[in-house]
Amino acid sequence: MEKPDVSEPCRSITDQPHNCNLHRNIMKQPLFTFLAIISTATIQAAEIVAVAHPGENLAHDQIVVWSPLFQAAWDDLHRGLGAPVKIDPPNALMDRLDHFTWKADAVMPRDHWKVWAGDATKDLIDKANAEAARMTGEKKGPFQIEPRPNARIALGLLDRDLVFKKPLHRSVDAPLVFHSAVGTKPKVRFFGTRRKASGGYGGVVRVLAYQAGSHALQIASDADDSAVLYLPEKPVSFIESCAKLREWRSMKLAGAYGSAQDPALHEKDDVRIPVLKLANTTDFVPLLGSERYFENGGPWKLYKAEQRLKFQLTEKGAKLRVEVATGIDAFGEPPPPPPMTPRFFHYDRPFFVFLWRDGAEWPYFGAWIGNGTPMEAYKET
């Protein structure tokens, strides 16, 4: 995979039991349910779309986000009702959510998420807000909901600051030209590493794949999760991309040091990732408006299903203190390195970004970046 040589230097990258149980308050009259999700992420923009399930079709010219926090709240919202026996009218998205199989505790970031579910009482809302405030360190919780008779609610929070083991470098002197799916080519701010600096990221940046027209990187955090970036040869769905990344994450490239299949970055590698900042609020009620009957009663009807999401990606990973250790070899000059194959990990056209725990089947956040909306514009100085 060849990339045109970039002669302009980029100075900054070359210098060196948590769930509350649902009550079985099943009544013969139609009841209503409430669902609210709060998760990590950004800036309101019409170009940003949220999906409730990874199997939904993507608008590949837009920014599309997904987090299984919505799935976790959906699961707890209906816990204790038994299996759904009727959905009127039939609703494919509801059916997908009902049959999604996963292990939430293995997927979601440890100690950085929670779902509160039960009857829609003031006590439960107050409890959720108090515990959410302790999780985030804020003065009060995020849930602004009124109690509701004969209703049940599920409130979810995901709040994770992922910090890279070693920060990458933000470009100062040069932009990245992003070739968006809508045909625009904005100049944007980016971070990464190149030349000799790339050789210092062993154990931090793992090469998952480097193929014709496609590549993927994993950037380790200071915990058991990572940022995973995947630039596909052609647009695919979240499910397809996750399946491919599961395969790559489960094995390891076996190329020699400096080769095209070297599993670690080496001194000829060039990494460029746009700085991202996005926000989205989505109401899923129009997509989930059917009445639902369960083994233990019904019908139930969703009256609120809101997700608010913010996401930011920078050279540090997130706003948290980072400590870096350096060392020097006292045993003289090392032997000359073998010939190296230059590799270009440029995320300069639509790509996926995920936050993913080690060993988990699914990421706990994913975004398809189809255009430059969430990127920081580059301005000539």
d(CA 250, CA 233): 21
CB 301 within 8 A of CB 31: yes
In this structure, the strands spanning 151-158 and 113-119 are antiparallel
Tell me if the domain spanning 163-276+338-369 has CATH number 2.30.39.10: yes
Terminal Cα distance for the chain, rounded: 32
CB 270 within 8 A of CB 192: yes
Nearby residues of 301 by Cβ (< 8 Å), 6 or more positions away: 30, 31, 32, 33, 289, 290, 291, 292
The confidence score (pLDDT) of residue 195 equals 86
Domain ranges in the chain are 19-162+278-313, 163-276+338-369
The confidence score (pLDDT) of residue 8 equals 38
Q: What is the pLDDT along the chain (381 residues), one digit of tens a residue?
A: 444 444 333 444 434 333 333 333 333 233 344 444 443 332 233 478 999 999 998 889 999 999 999 999 999 988 988 889 999 999 999 999 999 999 999 999 999 999 999 988 999 999 999 999 998 898 998 888 888 888 888 999 999 999 999 999 999 889 999 999 989 999 999 999 998 899 999 889 999 999 989 999 999 998 999 999 999 999 899 999 999 999 999 998 988 988 999 999 998 899 999 999 988 888 898 999 888 888 888 788 888 888 988 899 999 984 321 111 111 122 233 445 567 788 889 999 999 999 999 999 999 999 999 999 999 898 876
CA angle 175–181–182, rounded 5-degree value: 95
d(CA 14, CA 198): 9
The confidence score (pLDDT) of residue 36 equals 43
- Phi first, then psi, for residue 215 (nearest 5°) are -160, 160
How is residue 232 annotated by DSSP?
-
CA angle 195–201–207, rounded 5-degree value: 90
d(CA 187, CA 10): 14
CB 378 within 8 A of CB 175: yes
The confidence score (pLDDT) of residue 337 equals 57
The confidence score (pLDDT) of residue 33 equals 41
How is residue 270 annotated by DSSP?
E
Structure tokens at 131: 């515990």
d(CA 268, CA 273): 17
Structure tokens at 336: 């000359």
Greatest alpha-carbon pair distance for the chain in Å reads 82
CB 302 within 8 A of CB 377: no
The confidence score (pLDDT) of residue 283 equals 87
d(CA 255, CA 263): 7
The confidence score (pLDDT) of residue 355 equals 94
